Amino acid sequence: MTTPRELQALYKQGKNITQLLREEHGLQHNSDEIIEIAYDLQTGSYIAAMENAEMNSHKRDYTAEIAKIILSLCTPRSILEAGVGEATTLSGVLENMDSDISSYGFDLSWSRVAYAKRWLLSKGVDTTTLCTGNLFHIPFADNSIDIVYTSHSIEPNGGNEEPILQELFRVTRKYLILLEPGFELAHDEARKRMDLHGYCKNLRGTAEGLGYRVLTHNLFPFTANPLNPTAITIIEKQADEVPPSYIFACPKFKTPLEQIGGMLFSPEALVAYPIVGGIPCLRIENGIFASKYAEVVGAG
């Protein structure tokens, strides 16, 4: 089995890590572990790409259009990028939004979240709340965020579209906006490439099959790679319930977390989630089962 250090060297040689690991483990689709390793090894590449004038210009247009679409739907009080990566998209979206908006982001990879935090600070954004998290078990409360959007984060999760959409929709309060590969709207060469990489498909059909109201599904006007055209899918929710009093939630039970002794504790799961480098680590597997944590540490 290829070690992480060997994978790092292979990535630097330009090898496709997700394809290599799928073949090594005999998998048809990418697992969480494969996605985490591949994207963590890429950390820094998105910020580095912003030094390229053409990419920088594309990103400005891309994020300005996202903000324009959001503001055409509502005036949100909160926004979440699910799969925030290095926050090169989130930072641009926020530049075009009201400064009073509460912003959030999570990613599978701790390294990418750490880079996202540093990137946002370099752009003068110090109010965004970031954490690690999994699209299958999002560590946010039900109906807690007005606008939830993705930017090619469902992409590598082909075959798991339904559970991911259910989680994103659960957290959403008003609108869910998906900027993901437009497989059904793409030409044959692009579709072949998407299949090779295990990309997601049929988001509109999946959403409608779940009973969601899809307002828009068409090609987005700005795409970085013609072989991976971005489609925008807008889903309306409009939750009637009063928004919850908490945002972060236990990824397993979706119940409130308590900050005790430098950790976030779930009284329901009896699990303590660490905060590493100022970043809450809120994937289920990050938790430490500690039934006496609140009793012992809280008392201290």
Q: Which residues of the chain have pLDDT under 50?
A: none
Cα(198)–Cα(194) distance, rounded to whole angstroms? 6
- The pLDDT of residue 111 is 95
What is residue 300's predicted lDDT score, i.e. its pLDDT? Answer: 57
Please give the C-alpha separations between residue 240 and each of 142, 149, 174, in angstroms, as whole numbers: 12, 20, 9
As a whole number of angstroms, the distance between CA 259 and CA 263 comes to 6
Distance of CA 95 to the CA centre of its chain: 19
pLDDT at 187: 95
pLDDT at 188: 96
Which SS3 state, helix, strand or coil, does residue 131 take?
Answer: strand
User: Do 219 and 185 meet the contact criterion of CB atoms below 8 Å apart?
Assistant: yes
Please report the pLDDT score of residue 42 as a whole number.
86
Check residue 88 and give its pLDDT. 98
- Tokens at residue 118, please? 């540093």
Domains of the chain: 4-42 (no CATH), 52-236 (3.40.50.150), 258-299 (2.20.25)
Token pair belonging to 112 = 């990418």
CA atoms in the 13 A half-sphere facing the CB of 211: 2
User: Cα(first)–Cα(last) distance of the chain, in Å?
Assistant: 45
Q: What is the pLDDT of residue 16?
A: 84
pLDDT tens column, 152-172: 999 999 999 999 999 999 999
**What does the block give as tokens for 98?**
């009201």
Residue 266 near residue 159 (C-beta atoms within 8 A) = no
